[in-house]
Amino acid sequence: MTVFVPGMLPEEYETLRRTVATFTDGEVAPVSAQLDAKHEFPYALVEQMGDMGLFGLPFPEEYGGMGGDYFALCLALEEIARENQSLAMTLEAGVSLGAMPIFRFGTDAQKQELLPHVIDGRGLAAFGLTEAEAGSDAGGTKTKAVLENGEWVVNGSKSFITNSGTDITKFVTATAVTGTRTGSDGSRKPEISTIIVPNGTPGFTPEPAYDKVGWNSSDTHPLTFDGVRVPEANLLGERGRGYANFLRILDEGRIAIAAVSVGAAQGCVDASVQYAKERTAFGKPIGDYQGISFKIARMEARVQSARAAYYAAASKMESGLPFKKEAAIAKMVASEAAMDNARDATQVHGGYGFMNESLVARHYRDSKILEIGEGTTEVQLMLIARDLGL
């Protein structure tokens, strides 16, 4: 069994981690506040990440990938998220939610045609699952796709879709009801399949971007499908398996979100340690006071615990073992650590921590969604309890 241990990474992983850390400190950190303030998508940084091979980390070389694995992607996400959660989520959604469904469930022709264009950083893909009335209850999908004369005709809408409206978005994989099936209890249930919709297809419209609390330089739109027609060959995976397939994608994605959360939590620790050493009050650094030092110590404990949780989940995943419960635990523990650390880091920084240009203020605004996206905390608790037979 593959086992990843914090602080004891094999050389190839440690080299990757250091490389991405250098990129984050040298290229990402200096421009993150400006990108956030302007709500500007980081095209130049995305291109640089493509040149570094980050979008291709878990994919085979035959598709232009790096031949690595999912854990390598998580290490990159953690390092980037220390400084910029929006950029980390652009990478996470582009790989885990955008390209991975094609790799996991696509035909050879779909892989050869689509993957090279979204794992080089010159193109992005999006994952169209959530709807206004189908978030945690993704089985409540209302978007429909009907097969007519060799084409899928798609009608409906999606909500909160990352990477869906950029200038380099190539396609969206969207779940849609394609019919009904008889369940084991004899009831009729919706048949949910997945359809690939290229950007620019008539009738496919990314609506105006959301005005969000955080993740301001990440691209997020509602989508409308109005009589969208695509070839029958754009079915992704087996007909009727769309919902089940995306549940697998979400299980993997929760490990990636945990990695982003750990990066955010670590960024709060790093900023707080530095500030506590530099800021003085009553004649000495504020870090000399237990009220501050103990708070930061608890922040560090959260980071270490959350990192161990996502490493454990990734270890089981890369070993081919069931990992649903471990992914849920990692996602819940890490996202709560990110939010708790952001709150405490803001307190350590005082008034400066309440200024939007500060790193901890960005993490304070950004981290809340980590407890919601790709499965709320309540959904993770449900999955954990279910695994326990409850």
Mean pLDDT over 100-110 rounds to: 96
Q: Is the pLDDT of residue 182 over 80?
A: no
- What's residue 195's pLDDT? 97
Sign of the Cα pseudo-torsion (112, 193, 198, 211, in order): negative
Q: Which fold has domain 244-387?
A: Butyryl-CoA Dehydrogenase, subunit A; domain 3 (1.20.140)
- The mean predicted confidence, pLDDT, of the chain is 95
In this prediction, residue 15 has a pLDDT band, given cuts at 50, 70 and 90, of very high
Which is the CATH superfamily of the domain at 11-123? Acyl-CoA dehydrogenase/oxidase, N-terminal domain (1.10.540.10)
In this prediction, residue 136 has a pLDDT band, given cuts at 50, 70 and 90, of low
Mean pLDDT over 44-62 rounds to: 96
- What's residue 185's pLDDT? 72
Q: Is the pLDDT of residue 133 over 90?
A: no
C-alpha 258/C-alpha 323 separation (Å) is 14
C-alpha 191/C-alpha 235 separation (Å) is 13
Mean pLDDT over 139-158 rounds to: 93
pLDDT digits (tens, 9 = 90+) for 244-279: 898 899 999 999 999 999 999 999 999 999 999 999
- What's residue 1's pLDDT? 75
What percentage of the chain reaches a pLDDT higher than 70?
A: 98
Mean pLDDT over 106-130 rounds to: 94
Instruction: Indicate if 148 belongs to the active site.
Output: no
Mean pLDDT over 165-179 rounds to: 95
- What's residue 188's pLDDT? 80
pLDDT digits (tens, 9 = 90+) for 274-321: 999 999 999 999 999 999 999 999 999 999 999 999 999 999 999 999
**Catalytic pick from 92, 131, 318, 374?**
374
The dihedral formed by the CA atoms of 104, 107, 110 and 113, expressed in degrees to the nearest 10: 100
Mean pLDDT over 34-51 rounds to: 97
pLDDT digits (tens, 9 = 90+) for 353-387: 999 989 999 999 999 999 999 899 999 999 999 99
Cα distance between the two ends of the chain: 28
pLDDT digits (tens, 9 = 90+) for 79-94: 999 999 999 999 999 9
- What's residue 140's pLDDT? 82
Helices (H), 107-222: 108-118
- CATH 1.10.540.10 in the chain: give the residue spans: 11-123
Kindly report the pTM of this predicted structure: 0.95
- What's residue 389's pLDDT? 96
- CATH 1.20.140.10 in the chain: give the residue spans: 244-387
The dihedral formed by the CA atoms of 102, 315, 73 and 135, expressed in degrees to the nearest 10: 60
Distance of CA 14 to the CA centre of its chain: 22
In this prediction, residue 180 has a pLDDT band, given cuts at 50, 70 and 90, of confident
In this prediction, residue 138 has a pLDDT band, given cuts at 50, 70 and 90, of low
Distances (CA, A) of 177 to 144, 172, 219, 326, 359: 5, 16, 26, 30, 43
- CATH 2.40.110.10 in the chain: give the residue spans: 125-240
Q: Which fold has domain 125-240?
A: Butyryl-CoA Dehydrogenase, subunit A; domain 2 (2.40.110)
User: 77 and 260 in contact (C-beta within 8 Å)?
Assistant: yes
